[in-house]
Amino acid sequence: MGSHPPSSIRRARRIARLVGALAGLVVGVLYASFVIPRSQGAFTHQTVLAVVALLGSGAVGLISGFLAGPLLTVDPFLWLERTIDTVSAGELAGGVVGLLVALSVSALVAVILGGLPGGLGLMISVGLAGVLVYVGVGAGMRRRTDVAAWLSRRPDPGPAAAAPAAAIDRDAVDGHAPLAGAPALLDTSVLIDGRITDLARAGFLPARLLIPGFVLEELQRIADAGDPVRRAKGRRGLRVVEGLRASADVACEVVDRDFPGTPEVDARLVRLARALDASVMTTDHNLTSVARIEGVRVLNLNDLALAMRPILAAGETMEVTIVKEGREPHQGVGYLDDGTMVVVENGRGHLEETVRATVTSVLQTPSGRMIFATMPAAPAEASPRPPRTPHPTRAAER
């Protein structure tokens, strides 16, 4: 949906104008034929007035139908398609539930007020239906989370009907367990960055990664650029895509869905994320800001790297209690509150003391993090330099 070429839209508008003009002409002629017999005696030249009224009504209907044809047929259809493409599945489900509730209440009111004279009950019911539909659809789309939770609610099957734990574990081992979590759309910058492959290998990515077709097209254009730097970036992004598709750690799919009316790749990515109820993974600061304004969840790798940076950097001072001796001479070992081991040079002589040390380096290992620090050596710990033995002079040797 939403991918009609401009030529087909123009053709549909022309057909709608033609059909609208013919329908307006017929309605105008029928209206004139209904009014003219009832105005006999009001004018002296009945024949001339009848012809003029007939032609005038037909012309007005023809012009009105020609102008209103696309507005009543093609334009509402295109607007509906754009709306369905833009809103998420949760918003669409909430809107439908709100519409059904509004129509049900309106039908009940029409039954109750059906006995009012002069069609007053029908008019009240129609007006109330319009108001309730507007309010119900809006409320349903805004409360899409509550509506989705209500629709997915199931009765408690009880302990007898609960699945055995062994069967659940076996399904998870066999790979048949359903994918959990919302999918993530990858943009061009995160593919060129390349760190996503390490995250996939470490198992920190969502279960489903989606790569839009227009993102692959942009990577292809970058890979075919004349600038060697841009060409290298594009090829790197394509290699990352191949690695993700072949990886067994994540499920990576290509989504062939586009929005021709939106030329910018970032805007199309945000619209697709809203339509699929997915998040966007990127390293672009501007895309991050726009997506968050549009209400789309963003996974920015730069924010992740900032959150995972070491708490202490080289050159900073810290306080640590030396609790034991280190492996090397003059080393003492202490621990931070989170269990991080701190190796302090020249700290062996300060057991059970809290000292101030300067961080020299931070080592991140698969088993955790280690901090290396140093402190000034105590005068007693400083190893004295051996005295220099004077070399005998030639005179003494003689």
Out of 2.40.50, 2.120.10, 2.60.120, 1.25.40, which CATH number does the structure's domain 317-374 have? 2.40.50
Helices (H) and strands (E) in the chain, counts: 15, 10
- Which pLDDT value is given to residue 165? 35
Are 350 and 369 a contacting pair, CB within 8 Å?
no
For 368-380, what is the mean pLDDT?
A: 79
Residue 175 has pLDDT above 60, yes or no: no
Tokens 């895309």 identify what position? 287
d(CA 351, CA 331): 10
Q: How many CA atoms lie within 13 A of 186 on its CB side?
A: 32
Residue 152 has pLDDT above 60, yes or no: no
- Which pLDDT value is given to residue 174? 37
Residue 43 has pLDDT above 50, yes or no: no
| Domains of the chain, residue spans | 1-86, 89-149, 182-307, 317-374
C-alpha to C-alpha distances, 314 to 295, 344, 354, 374, 389, nearest whole angstrom: 39, 13, 20, 11, 41
pLDDT category at 160 given cuts 50, 70, 90 is very low
For 8-19, what is the mean pLDDT?
A: 82
- Which pLDDT value is given to residue 49? 63
Average pLDDT, the chain: 76
- Which pLDDT value is given to residue 26? 82
Are 249 and 204 a contacting pair, CB within 8 Å?
no
pLDDT > 70 in the chain, percent: 73
What is the DSSP annotation of 164-186? PHHHHHHHHHHT-SPP-S--EEE
pLDDT tens figures, 89-133 = 667 777 788 788 888 888 888 888 777 776 777 788 888 888 888
pLDDT category at 149 given cuts 50, 70, 90 is low
- Ranges of beta strands (E only) in the chain are 184-186, 208-212, 251-255, 279-282, 298-300, 317-325, 331-335, 341-345, 354-365, 368-374
Residue 171 has pLDDT above 70, yes or no: no
Residue 170 has pLDDT above 50, yes or no: no
Query: Which of the pair, 381 or 84, is modelled with greater confidence?
Result: 84
d(CA 194, CA 241): 9
pLDDT tens figures, 56-82 = 777 887 788 788 877 877 777 777 776
d(CA 41, CA 34): 15
Residue 45 has pLDDT above 90, yes or no: no
For 145-164, what is the mean pLDDT?
A: 48
- Which pLDDT value is given to residue 343? 93
What is the distance of C-alpha 24 from the center of its chain?
A: 46
H or E element that contains 149:
helix 144-151
CATH architecture, domain 182-307: 3-Layer(aba) Sandwich (3.40)
pLDDT tens figures, 247-274 = 887 888 888 877 767 778 888 888 888 8
d(CA 385, CA 171): 70
For 216-221, what is the mean pLDDT?
A: 89
pTM: 0.45
Residue 10 has pLDDT above 50, yes or no: yes
C-alpha to C-alpha distances, 114 to 108, 109, 142, nearest whole angstrom: 10, 8, 33
- Which pLDDT value is given to residue 38? 63
Query: Which of the pair, 109 or 372, is modelled with greater confidence?
Result: 372
